[in-house]
Amino acid sequence: MFVGVCSDVGKIREINQDSYFKCNLDDFPIFVVADGMGGYKAGEVASRIVVETVEEMVKEYKEELVKKELEVPKFINEVLNESNNRVYEKSNSNEEYEGMGTTVTMAVILNNEIYIGHIGDSRAYLIRNEEIMQITQDHSLVAELVRNGSISEVDAINHPQKNIITRALGTDATVKIDILSKDVEEGDIILLCTDGLSNMVSDGLIKEILLSAEDKQEACEKLVSTANELGGLDNITALVIEVKQEKR
């Protein structure tokens, strides 16, 4: 795996409420981006709790996962449900954090397959054969309006309710998690990002930057700087993975 990551506060926000995690071990590559929401610093706390929970549970279950004694989708489900419990409990035990939550996009690459756990409007993209495809489905009001045909994708770009998400981790006692899997091939590029990137930079420009950069770290830094050049209206996080592994 070749991995790069960059996170920035953007041009408008006072603090960066995004968090990320990367465990780039050959036998167990796992990656997370999370975009916190809530009052001042509450979103930062929510996204950080997710990252800390992932790191803790990776250490706890890594051996079982590598030995295939625990299925990856089950692991993702357990991690994100535990994260939800911790964020929800924290928000209910401290008035300062009341109502906080976070988006999460979590990817595990194992045996030439990528498994993704997803809540909210952070995204996972796949770039293959110079084409870009959004793997995840946004849990947002505008995305639902597009899916049911109420508005067009063009209308969605500058929709006034674009920031309203319909599902987040930590805002309720239980959470619905999208878990999906897809085969990956040598040379595939995976991008995990928060909406501070995807709302500012078009899919076409994201693809162009990813394919033209010298390395994955340069790609992440260019993606973030481009989002800032186009307004930087939110925190921005980009995590890029190029798949390099043995075939089955």
pLDDT tens per residue, range 56-107: 999 888 888 777 778 899 999 999 999 999 999 999 999 999 999 999 999 9
Report the range of poorest mean pLDDT among 13-27, 119-133, 195-209, 230-244.
13-27
Indicate the CATH number for domain 2-242.
Answer: 3.60.40.10
CA dihedral 132, 206, 238, 66 (to 10 degrees): 20
Does pLDDT of 152 surpass 80?
A: no
Alpha-carbon gap, residue 81 to 34, rounded angstroms: 15
Strand duo 189-193 + 101-110: pairing: unpaired
Q: What is the pTM of this model?
A: 0.92
Q: For 27-31, 34-38, 206-210, 228-232, which range has the lowest pLDDT when averaged over its residues? A: 27-31
- Do 174 and 84 contact (CB within 8 A), yes or no? yes
Beta carbons within 8 Å of 101's beta carbon, 6+ residues apart = 36, 37, 38, 43, 46, 87, 91, 168, 169, 170, 171
